[in-house]
Amino acid sequence: MDGITFEYPTWYLVICLLVGLAYALVLYFRDHTFRESATWLNWLLGATRMLVVSTLAMLLMSPILRSVESRSQKPVVVFAQDGSESIGAAMKPADSLAYVQAIRSIEEKLGTDYDLVSYTFGESVRDTLDLSFRDKRTNIAELLRQVYDVYSNQNLGAVILSSDGIYNEGANPVYSDVKLNAPVYTIALGDTTRQKDLVLKRVFHNKIAYLGDKFSIQVDITAQNAAGATSSLRIARIENGRTRELVNESVQIDRNDFFTTREFILDADVAGVNRYRISLGAVSGEVSTANNVRDIYVDVLEARQKILLLAAAPHPDLSALKQSITEGRNNEVTVEYINSFAGNVRDFDLVILHQLPGKSNNIGNLLQEMKSRQTPVWFIAGVTSDFGALNAAQQLINISSNGRNTNDVEPYLASNFSLFNVPDDVRAILPILPPVVAPFGDFKAGGSASVLLYQRIGRVDTQYPLLALGQEDNRRLATMAATGLWKWRLFDYLEKKNHNRFNELVSQVIQYLSVKDDKRRFRVSLAKNIFDENEPIIFDAELYNDNYELVNEPSAQLVITNEDGREFNYTFNTTGRGYRLNAGVMPVGSYRFRATVNTGTQNLDYNGQFSVQAIQLERYEMTADHDLLRLLSERYGGELVYPAAIASIPDKLLAKGTVKPVLYETVNTRSLINLKGIFFLLLSLLTLEWFLRRYFGAY
């Protein structure tokens, strides 16, 4: 609806007309100039001047031109298709063709009266309709969330969700917190018949293990309608295309609704990414064997590190520490004495300094080199230590002592230590450990120190730190303010006939300190070593010059080799100061790669490996869950329909009566004084008046 409104009462228009009339009368009532030539001219000129003045007066009232624009918005109907593999596996070719035709038909019908939007959901939500059914995962809750995010403020009429009700990612959609203000109609696909089937339901395993250790594999097995059958569970390692069987165990299925869990302990005896195949033997009449096999990958790390135990003089602590550290089969320990040490600390990943720096041993150069190379250090202080030099080399514990006297101190655990979890058996032995020998003096913890053990002197629990850990100058340090660790190891053996608790304590300190930096000039990194089959493989590389500055001028190449020996050649792209390569999605299997670069003076290379694992989630549950779809429809006020009744959905929406267009009105306002037509009207009237007066000789 259009109209004009004023900021002042409308009866002011009468005043505007009177002002115009008065102005015209004053100007032309007593003017006899045109009466002899044309009597009508006075009336015309007066009317023109009256119209101009009245219009100008009216414009002073700030008139506003108001118009209303109406538009109708069709209701939005979202059609969401489950694109996962379980849908395609359950459909026969004839059924698939009929289903596609039915979907196309209702799309045409709905597109006439509604704003139809199509989505495909599975491992992601896509705003296109894809009926290839190749997604490896299903996340129904994510679809509902995205529909809510996009259409919650629009005229959402209904959601049509076509699925088998099987989800293997995200929350249960029935109990999600999405509050759609629209009915959800579900199309129930798939088969709910429970047929004979054995399933490797879930496999729990370590993703990382260390060479020489053991790791666990836990397998959940389910079976439906297979009572009385016997199967075999096998675990094999696949190496270079060859299979080596590690486990073969019988599985007796004693009921139709069968479930069991089996656990196995395997040796991590081969470094690198190990591929294991877990399989269940098929039974007669089984509907599908695709879910009887599962491949897993375990990255076995050869984390062998070189540790230097450098001492001022022979001491029982050295033997105790060496034996405990070498219990971890990935550690290589070298014991040296400062007076005969001819090696180089740069060759070691971790250094333990026993009573060094000492009063008669100046190791300032070694300390400076370890600091510059950020080598982690464990300081063990004793009576022969140079406490001034020790305090300068680390700030974890400040020791004020002349070194001539000692105290026998017992350890007690700090209540607020949080760098790592101390096992319960270690906590239990700490209060009864024999005393160690600490210098007599004053001890203070530094600001960067995290105290693990405090000193108990006699029966008094002091706040003197005994063992502290922390990080300084981007390297990790530990300081033990006493000697005599060998006593703790012997006591542990007297108590339990083993050294497990002492070894655990030492191992935790060593693990905290062990920070292994890659000092190679050419490095290639992957976000992980094990990728899913639908993930792109992205390589990042760094090249350092002789001054250890990042450069990327030389061209870098990469060769990926699969299990069959086939090679794939790539060239890195430069990005910033480094290199990047997206090798794309690769088939399931194990791969080796070799990256090379020529700096102009030498060839540098980097070797590594990775694996691509299959996503088998859609194979483990093949029985459709129509109850979930029914509950989902009931929650949002919709209805469940079967594929044969897809054509009835448009009629159901019409009968619902709530899916209607929304009428929107937009009010537009504009000041009348801004209209160019008003200006040209006034200009035309004044021009006409001037012309007539000029023509008839008034000027």
DSSP secondary structure letters along 521-561: SEEEEES-SEEETTS--EEEEEEE-TTS-EE--S-EEEEEE
pLDDT of residue 63: 84
* pTM listed for this prediction: 0.51
Total of domains in the chain: 5
Whether residues 176 and 88 share a domain: the answer is yes
pLDDT at 105 exceeding the cut of 60:
yes
Over residues 409-430, the mean pLDDT reads 88
Specify if 377 maps to a domain: yes
Report cis status (omega within 30 of 0) of the bond before 9. Answer: no
Using alpha carbons only, what angle is made at residue 448 by residues 446 and 452, rounded to the nearest 5 degrees? 80
Instruction: Tell me how crowded residue 367 is: count the other CB atoms within 10 A of its CB.
Output: 23
Name the domain boundary from 266, 301, 336.
301
**How far apart, in whole angstroms, are the C-alpha atoms of residue 470 and residue 412?**
18
Over residues 358-385, the mean pLDDT reads 91
Over residues 103-115, the mean pLDDT reads 87
Specify if 273 maps to a domain: yes
Whether residues 542 and 650 share a domain: the answer is no
pLDDT of residue 203: 86
Specify if 149 maps to a domain: yes
Specify if 618 maps to a domain: no
Whether residues 541 and 649 share a domain: the answer is no
pLDDT of residue 572: 95
Whether residues 544 and 467 share a domain: the answer is no
Using alpha carbons only, what angle is made at residue 353 by residues 351 and 359, rounded to the nearest 5 degrees? 150
**What's the residue count for the chain?**
699
pLDDT of residue 489: 94
Whether residues 507 and 405 share a domain: the answer is yes
pLDDT of residue 395: 92
pLDDT at 499 exceeding the cut of 70:
yes
- b/e per residue 145-168 (b: at least 16 CB within 10 A): bbbbebbeeebbbbbbbbbbbbbb
Residue 415's pLDDT band (cuts 50, 70, 90): confident
Whether residues 383 and 467 share a domain: the answer is yes
In a 13 Å sphere around the CA of 347, the CA atoms on its Cβ side amount to 9
Q: Is the separation of the CB atoms in 357 and 393 below 8 Å?
A: yes
Whether residues 158 and 226 share a domain: the answer is no
Specify if 390 maps to a domain: yes
Residue 382's pLDDT band (cuts 50, 70, 90): very high
pLDDT at 699 exceeding the cut of 90:
no
pLDDT of residue 4: 80
Residue 619's pLDDT band (cuts 50, 70, 90): low
Whether residues 344 and 468 share a domain: the answer is yes
CATH number for the domain including 154?
Answer: 3.40.50.410
Task: Return the higher-pLDDT residue of 534 and 230.
Answer: 230
Judging by beta carbons within 10 Å of its beta carbon (0-12, 13-18, 19+), is residue 4 exposed, middle or buried? exposed
Residue with tokens 């203070």: 444
Whether residues 170 and 225 share a domain: the answer is no
pLDDT of residue 36: 61
Residue 1's pLDDT band (cuts 50, 70, 90): very low
Whether residues 22 and 113 share a domain: the answer is no
Q: What is the pLDDT of residues 524-576, one digit of tens each?
A: 988 777 888 888 999 999 998 877 778 899 999 999 999 888 999 999 999 88
Name the domain boundary from 254, 271, 301.
301
pLDDT of residue 47: 85
Residue 516's pLDDT band (cuts 50, 70, 90): low
Over residues 240-248, the mean pLDDT reads 86
Task: Return the higher-pLDDT residue of 653 and 658.
Answer: 653
Over residues 322-345, the mean pLDDT reads 86
Name the domain boundary from 261, 281, 301.
301
pLDDT of residue 484: 94
Whether residues 505 and 361 share a domain: the answer is yes
The least confident of 369-378, 433-442, 461-470, 656-665 is: 656-665
Instruction: Rank 41-50, 131-140, 436-445, 610-619 by mean pLDDT and report only the highest.
Output: 436-445
Mean pLDDT of the chain: 86
Q: Among residues of the chain, what percentage have pLDDT more than 90?
A: 38
Q: Among residues of the chain, what percentage have pLDDT more than 70?
A: 96
**How far apart, in whole angstroms, are the C-alpha atoms of residue 533 and residue 606?**
24
Specify if 347 maps to a domain: yes
* DSSP run (H or E) holding 159: strand 156-163
The least confident of 324-338, 577-591, 637-651 is: 324-338
Specify if 274 maps to a domain: yes
CATH number for the domain including 549?
Answer: 2.60.40.1930
Over residues 439-446, the mean pLDDT reads 92
Whether residues 103 and 12 share a domain: the answer is no
pLDDT of residue 215: 87
pLDDT of residue 422: 85
pLDDT of residue 35: 60
Q: Is the separation of the CB atoms in 154 and 612 below 8 Å?
A: no
Structural domain harbouring 433: 306-513
Specify if 352 maps to a domain: yes
Instruction: Rank 167-181, 548-562, 615-629 by mean pLDDT and report only the highest.
Output: 548-562
Q: Is the separation of the CB atoms in 304 and 332 below 8 Å?
A: yes
Residue type, 553: E
CATH number for the domain including 269?
Answer: 2.60.40.10
| Phi-psi region at 50: left, alpha or beta (left = phi > 0; alpha = psi -120 to 50) | alpha
Cβ contacts of residue 180 below 8 Å, gap of 6+? Answer: 144, 147, 148, 152, 156, 159, 636
Task: Return the higher-pLDDT residue of 628 and 668.
Answer: 628
* DSSP states along 472-491: ETTEEEEEE--B-HHHHHHH
Instruction: Tell me how crowded residue 630 is: count the other CB atoms within 10 A of its CB.
Output: 17
Q: What is the pLDDT of residues 260-312, one digit of tens each?
A: 999 999 998 888 788 898 999 988 888 778 788 888 888 887 766 889 999 99
Over residues 428-457, the mean pLDDT reads 93
